[in-house]
Amino acid sequence: MFGSPPEGEIWSGDDAAVVAAPAGRMLFTIDTLIEEIDFDLAYAKPEDVGWKAVAVNVSDIAAMGGRPAHAVTALWLPSSTSLVAAEGISRGVAECCKAFSVSNVGGDVSTASQIGIAVAMTGGAHVEPVRRSGARPGDLLGVTGQLGGAAAGLAALQAGRGADFPDAVRRQLRPQPRADEGGALAGAGVTAMVDISDGLASDLGHLTEASGTGCDVDVHALPVDPSVGAVAEVVGRAVLDMAVIGGEDFELLFAVPPDRLDAVQDALSGTQTPVSIIGRFTDAETGIAGRSLKEWKERGWEHLRAR
Amino acid sequence: MFGSPPEGEIWSGDDAAVVAAPAGRMLFTIDTLIEEIDFDLAYAKPEDVGWKAVAVNVSDIAAMGGRPAHAVTALWLPSSTSLVAAEGISRGVAECCKAFSVSNVGGDVSTASQIGIAVAMTGGAHVEPVRRSGARPGDLLGVTGQLGGAAAGLAALQAGRGADFPDAVRRQLRPQPRADEGGALAGAGVTAMVDISDGLASDLGHLTEASGTGCDVDVHALPVDPSVGAVAEVVGRAVLDMAVIGGEDFELLFAVPPDRLDAVQDALSGTQTPVSIIGRFTDAETGIAGRSLKEWKERGWEHLRAR
């Protein structure tokens, strides 16, 4: 399912995998999905769970400007879990690894009271890694793609209306991390970057706190996912809530000095991925539509609280 | 708690850590401990859990002949878990990382119905990695240290007699992986190696299956941990059960051609770690005291079954 190792490498089946190390500096991250907290098999297929567990790590590597290389996977399952479900999760891991040229080189399966999966991933840092802390007042705030689609997909699924909103559902269940865009943005000279996993309000807070800046966001400039309006109407929620505090879009949020904006747009022109400039870093407070990030976040997606 | 990164590295606090990659080939592994399956906070302190989660990975890296380098840690906890317990687990991770010169460079904390921890670890492969598959008929079967102590410790704790057997309890709760011995054995020319995590019977099976050999084990040569006899008497179990099917000793089990035995003993002389020769690889079946590994294992420690 996970392919064969190249000459000189050893993948699963021994005490540890042996792989070619990335040259120079290496990126290294881990992320976990837990049943009932991060996914619900009432609406996610096992394959979706496996896909997403890999995708969130690809997104973290991309947000540093890197390219993913190798993954190891820990899966834990109640003993009542069907073999079909267990294999489905692994198949989703394999699909996402293939889609983003990651080699899954090892794993571990345990028994637990609840399904969960942790994926650890290494990546190569071909350009200088981009931290969260490099934004300066005057830099522009940019974002790839569209916002709110993943939250809309979740809301549609939870309302039993997933079949009516396939694009939004796909954004929720099969996120497409910006693997190529991260390196392109890093090469074009962005000064800070984060992926949007917790939601715009939370992740912008990560950038401004690490950078010691504020930021003014122009709410009218937000690239709202085209699915969001219709879903919001059906489920009775505000469009802006989905775009600002809905998480899991896995778009890249970055700071770019105005004189490098052309370079950013050139760098992304090959990817067909739109970039929107949605604000400007300042030395004052951070606000979105006149409300502080704290106000947004208190209403927002909480990683540590069950859905 | 986890120290500070050297110049040019970035540890926790960004989307991914940035570290110096090992030169050339790299080892990569992941292992998970789950509450009620792999530990019980009725007798393990949170610090013990964190220690062991790191130690089992150090042992896997050592069993390839490598040296551990960097770790990332995923921890999941019920929201009812006390901050003291959560911090204790992290402190145990930090203690074990410090003891074995591993840098814990990142982590992830989630909510779950049950406590669990997954640690992924990279390592350097300074000598040719030692696989499980290289044993040949005529090679001797060697093992470091003593067997059965960790199982005795667990049995004593479960019987409420832990305080009477501190050495055995320490082997169960604070395993000491053979970090230095792995590389020394690899350098001395062992032909196959595995760490004893599931128990001698299971892990010998991993060596013989991967190598396509059999093995005769001399049960009188087994280096039984000095704690085992007294604990076995107290809990009413057989000494040999603890030494043969008791897991978690994290000793190294290896194959060595007879003409390299001197080199092995020289290589380990600096570590004060005893080596015992407990059998010989054959082209026939594998047996311990006239019973097949299957017979042993069916009575044995089962990783996928709760204690």
CB B211 within 8 A of CB B132: yes
CB pairs under 8 A between A and B: 213
Please give the pLDDT value at position A305.
35
The model's pLDDT over A204-231, given as tens digits with 9 standing for 90+, comes to 999 999 999 999 999 999 999 999 999 9
Q: What is the pTM of this model?
A: 0.95
Neighbouring residues of B229: CB distance < 8 A, sequence distance ≥ 6: B239
| Residue B138 zone, left/alpha/beta (φ > 0; ψ -120 to 50; rest) | left
Q: What pLDDT was estimated at residue A147?
A: 98
Chain B residues inside the 8 Å CB shell of A118:
30, 32, 74, 108, 118, 120
For the packed helices A179-187 and A46-63, what is the interaxial angle rounded to 10 degrees? Answer: 0
Considering only the beta carbons, identify the residue of B15, B111, B122 that sits closest to A195: B15
Strands A67-77 and A103-111: parallel
Structure tokens at B163: 């305080």
Cβ of residue A19 closer than 8 Å to a chain B Cβ: yes
For B130, the token pair is: 């030692």
Task: Work out the pLDDT band at A299, boundaries 50, 70, 90.
Answer: low
Contact criterion met (CB below 8 Å) for A57 and A29: yes
What gap in Å lies between CA A291 and CA A241, rounded to an integer? 12
* A115 pLDDT higher than 70: yes
- Is the model's pLDDT at A307 over the cut of 60? no
Nearest chain B Cα distance for residue A260, angstroms: 23
- For residue A77, the chain B residue with the least C-alpha distance is B304
Cβ-based neighbours of B296, under 8 Å, separated by 6 or more: B201, B244, B245, B288
A47 and A88 in contact (C-beta within 8 Å)? yes
* Residue numbers of A between 73 and 92 with CB closer than 8 Å to B: 73-74, 76, 79
Q: Between chains, do A16 and B64 touch, taking CB under 8 Å as contact?
A: yes
Mean pLDDT value across residues A15-31? 94
| SS3 at position A111 | strand
pLDDT given for residue B295 in this prediction: 87
A37, A66, A105 ranked by CB distance to B16: nearest: A66
Residues of B in contact with A129 (CB under 8 A): 10, 14, 16, 18
Looking at the complex, report in whole angstroms how far the Cα of residue B263 sits from the nearest Cα belonging to chain A: 23
Reading chain B (307 residues) residue by residue, the pLDDT tens digits are 889 999 989 999 899 999 999 888 999 999 999 999 999 999 999 999 999 999 999 999 999 999 999 999 999 999 999 999 999 999 999 999 999 999 999 999 999 999 999 999 999 998 999 999 999 999 999 999 999 999 999 999 999 999 999 999 999 999 999 999 999 999 999 999 999 999 999 999 999 999 999 999 999 999 999 999 999 999 998 899 999 999 999 999 999 999 999 999 999 999 999 999 999 999 999 999 888 998 887 865 443 333 3
Cα–Cα distance, A100 to A271 (Å, whole number): 14
Other C-beta atoms closer than 10 Å to the C-beta of A304 total: 10
Q: What is the pLDDT of residues A168-183, one digit of tens each?
A: 999 999 999 999 999 9
Partner B contacted by A26 (CB < 8 A)? yes
Residue pair B252/B195 in contact (Cβ under 8 Å)? The answer is yes
Q: How far is A229 from chain B (nearest CA, A)?
A: 30
Distance CA A77, CA A50 (A): 13
CA of A61: which chain B residue's CA is closest?
B16
**Residue-level pLDDT at A24:** 86
Contact between chains at B64 and A18 (C-beta distance less than 8 A): yes
Chain B CA closest to residue A105: B28
Which residues in chain A are closer than 8 Å to B132, comparing Cβ atoms?
Answer: 13-15
For residue A173, give Cα distances in angstroms to A92, A153, B212.
11, 8, 43
Interatomic CA distance for residues B269 and B273, integer angstroms: 7
The pLDDT of residue A101 is 97
Give the nearest partner residue to A19 out of B9, B18, B25, using CB atoms.
B25
- The shortest CB-CB distance from B70 to any of A28, A112, A305 is to A28
DSSP B109: E
Q: Distance, in angstroms, between A126 CA and closest chain B CA?
A: 12
Using a CB-CB distance cutoff of 8 angstroms, which residues of chain B are in contact with residue A36? Answer: 113
Interface check for B195 against chain A (CB to CB < 8 A): the answer is yes
List the one residue out of A36, A1, A2 whose CA is nearest residue A17. A2
What rounded mean pLDDT belongs to chain A?
A: 94
Is the distance from CB of B115 to CB of B78 less than 8 angstroms? yes
Q: Which positions in chain A touch B129 (Cβ < 8 Å)?
A: 10, 14, 16, 18
CB contact under 8 A, A74 and B118: yes
| Euclidean distance between CA atoms B11 and A27, whole angstroms | 10
Is residue B59 within 8 A of residue B33, CB to CB? The reply is: no
Question: For residue B292, which phi and psi values (nearest 5 degrees)?
Answer: -70, 160
CA distance B269 to B284: 33
User: In this complex, is the C-beta atom of B235 within 8 Å of any C-beta atom belonging to chain A?
Assistant: no
Q: Say if A52 is an interface residue toward chain B (CB within 8 Å).
A: no
A134-171 tens-digit pLDDT? 999 999 999 999 999 999 999 999 999 999 999 999 99
Chain A contacts in chain B segment 111-170 (CB below 8 A): 111-114, 116, 118, 120-123, 125, 129, 131-132
Instruction: Inform me whether the C-beta atom of residue B183 falls under 8 Å from chain A C-beta atoms.
Output: no
Q: Which residue has the tokens 């983003």?
A: A100
What is the rounded end-to-end Cα distance, in angstroms, of chain B?
32
What is the crossing angle of helices B228-235 and B149-158, to 10°? 30
Are A40 and A140 in contact by the 8 Å Cβ rule? The answer is no
User: Looking at residue B52, what is its pLDDT?
Assistant: 98
Mutate to test the interface with B, among A11, A14, A131 (most CBs of B within 10 A): A14
DSSP assignment string, A258-270: GGGHHHHHHHHGG
- Provide the strand spans (E) within chain B: 17-20, 25-34, 67-77, 103-111, 116-124, 140-144, 192-195, 214-217, 252-256, 275-282, 286-288, 291-292
Contacts of B123 in chain A (CB under 8 A): 16
